[in-house]
């Protein structure tokens, strides 16, 4: 995920420069508060980084979640195989002043080309997208419990 974050096009993450992304990863790896001053002079915080997911609180109102999904065909899906083995799901969740949330999700290949047709993704892969809900809930819980993360 570190490489994916560094390679992510600026158009998908205009808040964070390449240097910001390097810094936020370095801070996280050093077990420091992974917070940087973003391009809008606000604070962005990396709250989770695993081998296949990451979550960044871009600002008070927006969270970015990225999930790397393995779409290598299982034996049941072999007839649907194509050249894509992994898909990147990118979710922006906006917290509205009313307390409601609005989420947009886009899908990309490993070279950050947007996928226009996700109907051919196996059902087991689409089921994995429920992880976004767990990531979002975990972020919200951490932000409430840990004053260091605010």
What tokens appear for 94 in the block?
Answer: 């906006």
Residue with tokens 């409430």: 144
- Band (pLDDT 50/70/90 cuts) for residue 129 is low
Count of the separate structural domains present in the chain: 1
Distances from the Cα of 57 to the Cαs of 21, 27, 128, 145, in angstroms? 13, 15, 22, 15
What is the domain range of residue 103?
2-149
Q: Which backbone phi and psi does 62 adopt, to 5 degrees?
A: -140, 135
Secondary structure E strands in the chain: 35-37, 43-49, 53-59, 62-70, 86-95, 101-108
> What pTM was estimated for this model as a whole?
0.77
Residue 90 CA to residue 23 CA, distance in Å, equals: 21
pLDDT at residue 44, as a whole number: 96
Burial class of residue 129 in the structure, from the number of CB atoms within 10 Å of its CB (0-12 exposed, 13-18 middle, 19+ buried): middle
The pLDDT tens digits of the residues spanning 106-123 come to: 889 999 999 887 777 766
| 83: pLDDT strictly greater than 70 | no
pLDDT at residue 71, as a whole number: 79
């Amino acid at each position: 995920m570190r490489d994916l974050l560094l390679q992510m096009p600026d158009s998908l993450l205009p808040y964070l420069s390449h240097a910001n992304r390097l810094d936020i990863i370095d801070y996280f790896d050093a077990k420091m508060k992974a917070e940087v001053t973003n391009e809008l002079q606000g604070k962005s915080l990396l709250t989770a980084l695993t081998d296949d997911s990451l979550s960044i609180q871009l600002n008070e109102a927006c969270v970015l979640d990225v999930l790397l999904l393995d779409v290598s065909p299982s034996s049941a899906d072999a007839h649907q195989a194509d050249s894509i083995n992994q898909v990147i799901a990118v979710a922006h969740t906006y917290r509205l002043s009313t307390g409601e949330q609005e989420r947009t999700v886009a899908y990309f290949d490993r070279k950050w080309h947007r996928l226009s047709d996700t109907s051919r993704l196996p059902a087991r892969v689409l089921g994995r997208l429920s992880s976004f809900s767990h990531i979002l809930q975990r972020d919200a819980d951490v932000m409430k419990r840990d004053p260091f993360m605010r």
